[in-house]
Amino acid sequence: MKKTRVDRRFAELKKQGKKGFVAYLSAGDPNLDDTVDIVLRLEDAGVDVVELGLPFSDPLADGRVNQEAATRALEAGSTFDGVMHCIAKIRERSEIPMIFYAYMNPLLSRGFDASIEAAAGAGIDGFLLLDLPLEEAKPYRKALTDNTLNAIQLVTPTTPDERIDKIVKRANGFIYCVSREGVTGVQDSIAEGAGSLVQRIKSRSDLPVALGFGIGTADQARDAAQLADAVVVGSAIVNAFHNNPHTAEGRADAAAFVKNMVDAVKSI
């Protein structure tokens, strides 16, 4: 498969000996026009990959912060077509790698293949499909491959070794290593055992491993970067942009918070 922006970015990071930073946002929170602005600010802060939540009314893998962000996006009028237009507007100004963090229902409801084609046409680079079981993924994975999109796969602390073997064979782009059991949300520390899980994955795949779930401070981001190839931060970033005023100054403050975490990761 032709290399995506995600593939190229991780190859650059490896060549430079640097760790990656993946930032999560809910597309459409607080609205789609502001999402364009926030993504561009994240790029300026040094973020390597943006993971955009495709708004859904029942995001089961998400904690309170990201659930509320999805609700705000839907209440603001975010639709599938609106999000695709948002991606296209970002692409007019940026080549930052972007993937969708998505559930199957919004994609199936308008036709899976058509949804994937629309996302690729808008300029997305891949999908992390939260509720697509490995055993049912083959026909859907073909649509991603046909549209040169990464199929990002999750590995959790409860995933047995034999299942990790199957997951990594079907993944590309990077492996998303979930640091703890449960849903998304800021925690007090990196979960015990996260490092050993990363090593279990890396012993089975040459793909980059990104460690996420629960990372919310610069110190935690630095700790996570010592364990994995990249760090994923979600709820803390969603909170930063939501809790600061929706003004240029407020956005700058939120972006500075993110840059502090990015700098910590890049210091490794």
Q: What is the pLDDT of residues 87-131, one digit of tens each?
A: 999 999 999 999 999 999 999 999 999 999 999 999 999 999 999
The answer to whether position 31 is within a domain reads: yes
199: in domain: yes
- Is residue 268 included in any domain, yes or no? no
Active-site residue, 62 included: yes
Candidate list 7, 48, 62, 125, residue with the active-site label: 62
CA dist., res. 223 & res. 217, Å (int): 10
Judge whether 54 lies within some domain: yes
Alpha helix stretches (DSSP H) within 49-207: 64-75, 80-91, 104-108, 112-122, 138-146, 161-170, 194-202
Q: For 150-165, what is each residue's pLDDT tens digit? A: 999 999 999 999 999 9
Q: What is the pLDDT of residue 1?
A: 78
Q: Does 116 fall in a domain?
A: yes
The pLDDT tens digits for 203-212 are: 999 999 999 9
Q: Domain containing 73: what range?
A: 5-262
Structural domain count, the chain: 1
Please indicate, yes or no, if residue 267 is contained in any of the structural domains: no
**In the block, residue with structure tokens 């498969």:** 1
CATH code at position 37: 3.20.20.70
